[in-house]
Amino acid sequence: MSFPKGFLWGGSISAAQIEGGWNEGGKSPVLVDYCTAGSAKERRQIWYLDQEGKKVHKDWEAVDELPEGCKFQLFDDLHYTNHVASDFYHRYKEDIALLAEMGYTTFNTSISWARIYPHGIKGGVNQEGVEFYRSVFEECRKYGMDPVITLYKYDEPVSLLEQHGGWRNRAMIDEFVEFARVCFTEYKDLVNKWMTFNEINIIMPLNDTPKDKAKRDLAYLHNQLVAAARATIVAHEIDKDLKVGAMICGNMNYPLTPDPKDAFAQYKRFQDFFGYSADTQIRGEYPPYAKRIWEEWNFTPEITEQDKKDLKEGKADFLGFSYYASGVITTHNEEQLDITGGNILGSVKNPYLEANAWGWQIDPLGFKHFLHILNDRYQVPLFDVENGIGLIETEGEDGICHDSARIDYHRRHIQCMKEAVEEGVNLFGYTTWGCIDLVSAGTGQMDKKYGFIYVDMDDQGNGDLHRSRKDSFYWYKKVIASNGEDLD
Ligand code: BG6
């Protein structure tokens, strides 16, 4: 056997991308509730009223707080894909039964902060939200799944952002730790593996980030790193057996040429985008090169003695990460080069790789390489939280979605993951991204499908939300039943 006995197999989704029920059960709005869908070429947009009361929109990543005098607003003529999403809020029992049918031994989703504390500490806990997740986790346990749960996946209540002005304000640390405390206390008997912030590193300033924004983002990230560490300490106080992991957005890049400048730029990208957050969370202090990053952005961090102590004491127990695609880095003139898409970051095109319609470059060997890098560098248990491919799909005339491209993607990635494990990589689980079709985070689309379970819904809101098993459903079931031995 290549994979150890008890290796966790499953899938990953997130509250805001799958639940819908956006204003039900006492939940308050989150940022994506104000967003519409983009396309393969366009990011999704967030809509609001500007200072003069005019309807305006922006790329949603650009907005972590509104400019002074602007106001979030819903507009009747727009379609908001997250409002209904895949309707997991009402159909979770049916969905979890399907996951169980595939043989899942684990399942990752996030808890919507806006269901637990719709208006932050001062508004009090929303018991209906607490009971909703209790029921979700009980359902997982009923089928023998050992869930790994994420606390924060970009869905803090908008009312908290309005109260505190966003993550630059240290008040958000206390808000988060309190939210985490409620979750650990309520669910400790159902969930013993947690992750604090999903892809905490995606806010990291790079290249052309405006200087002012970069400083804000580094302060924002510092507060999240401290919040994660404090929540980890709290979890261990509540129950020393709870395991709390970090979750970092994967970043595998190659230098475009053998020019040492390209090779160094590629290494620097790893330090900046991945290492800065992962090193801090796994080793309990900022890495030495953080100083170089702060100087580059002319940023003076405000790190208290208590922060240092908490970062040390609240080190993550394991390293979760996502891996979808690889990229290419160069110092040479990018304007003359073909650029392609990618998860969060675009990239120079790699002539050796194919890509999906969104330009994400498919690279299974890069996955193996990346697993080795993480294993060598961190020497803590690893957990692959997200791996998957977005495709445009519909059901065929026989009512089945024949997703051979997805099977091919996962087959090749699992094969490489298997080799890495055989070569000594300490990986304890694999969850594929978007095991049930859901709303894309980057583009807000329902048309960009990731699941083994098809959900009948498109970008414009057409569809009756029925579920059906894709070809990949049966394939992954076989993979799990054989503990990763049968990939045919
Ligand atoms: C990951 C995010 O980085 O990428 C997910 O954690 C997201 O939330 C996934 O859905 C795929 O990206 P996209 O933009 O295709 O949804």
C-alpha 14 – ligand 1 centre gap (Å): 10
Token output for 441: 């985070």
Q: What is the pLDDT of residues 1-50, one digit of tens each?
A: 799 999 999 999 999 999 999 999 999 999 999 999 999 888 899 999 99
Structural domain range at position 231: 6-30+81-480
pLDDT at position 469 is 98
**Whose C-alpha lies nearest to ligand 1, atom 2?**
441
Mean pLDDT of 345-364: 95
d(CA 21, CA 261): 50
In the reported structure, the alpha carbon of residue 441 is separated from the centroid of ligand 1 by a whole-number distance in angstroms of 5
Asked if residue 211 is part of any domain, the answer here is: yes
Please, what is the end-to-end C-alpha distance for the chain in angstroms?
Answer: 16
Measured by CA distance, the residue closest to atom 4 of ligand 1 is 343
25 assigned to some structural domain: yes
Active site includes 386?
A: yes
- Of 139, 156, 186, 386, which one is the catalytic site residue? 386
CA dihedral 180, 321, 287, 372 (to 10 degrees): 150
Q: What is the pLDDT of residue 189?
A: 98
Tell me: pLDDT of 63 over 80: no
Quote the percentage of the chain above a pLDDT of 70.
99
* Pocket of ligand 1 contains residue 249 by CB under 6 Å: yes
> 39 alpha carbon to ligand 1 midpoint, in Å?
14
Q: Is 199 in the pocket of ligand 1 (CB under 6 A)?
A: yes
Do residues 179 and 151 lie in contact, with contact meaning Cβ atoms separated by under 8 Å? yes
Question: Is 353 contained in some domain?
Answer: yes
Split into its structural domains, the chain has a count of: 1
**CATH number for the domain including 287?**
3.20.20.80
Q: What percent of the chain has pLDDT over 90?
A: 91
**0.75 exceeded by the pTM?**
yes
State whether the beta carbon of 14 lies less than 6 angstroms from ligand 1: yes
Does the Cβ of 445 fall within 6 Å of ligand 1? no
* Residue of 154, 358, 386 to mutate, ligand 1, most atoms within 8 A of C-beta: 386
**Rounded to an integer, what distance in angstroms lies between the CA atom of residue 274 and that of residue 437?**
28
CA of 288 to the centre of ligand 1 (A): 30
Q: Is 81 in the pocket of ligand 1 (CB under 6 A)?
A: no
Say if residue 66's pLDDT is above 80. no
Nearest Cα neighbor of 410 from 316, 473, 318, 469 is 473
Smallest CA separation from ligand 1 atom 16, residue: 440
Is 488 part of any domain?
Answer: no
**Which ligand 1 atom sits closest to the C-alpha of 360?**
15
* Nearest CA residue ID for atom 9, ligand 1: 441
In this prediction, residue 419 carries a pLDDT of 98
Active-site residue, from 65, 139, 156, 199 = 199
Domain assignment present for residue 41? The answer is no
Mean pLDDT over residues 103-111, rounded? 98
Asked if the structure places residue 50 within a domain, the reply is no
How confident is the model over 241-273, as pLDDT tens digits? 999 999 999 989 999 999 999 999 999 999 999
pLDDT band at 343 (very low <50, low <70, confident <90, very high): confident
Distance of alpha carbon 233 from alpha carbon 221, whole angstroms: 18
Question: Does 99 score more than 90 pLDDT?
Answer: yes
State the Cα–Cα distance between residues 325 and 304, nearest whole angstrom: 37
User: In this predicted structure, what is the pLDDT of residue 432?
Assistant: 98
Ligand 1 atom nearest the C-alpha of 202 is 3
Inside any domain, residue 60: no
Average pLDDT over residues 115-140: 98
What spacing in Å lies between the alpha carbon of 434 and ligand 1's midpoint? 8
- Between β-strands 318-322 and 243-249, what pairing exists: parallel, antiparallel or unpaired? parallel
Q: Which residues contact 297 (CB under 8 A, 6 or more apart)?
A: 205, 211, 214, 215, 218
Read off the pLDDT of each residue in 417-428 and give the average, rounded to a whole number.
Answer: 98
In a domain, 72, yes or no: no
C-alpha 237 to ligand 1 mean position (Å): 32
- Rounded to an integer, the average pLDDT of 235-245 is 98
pLDDT for 319 equals 99
Calpha distance 173→184 (Å, rounded): 16
Nearest-atom index, ligand 1, CA of 443: 14
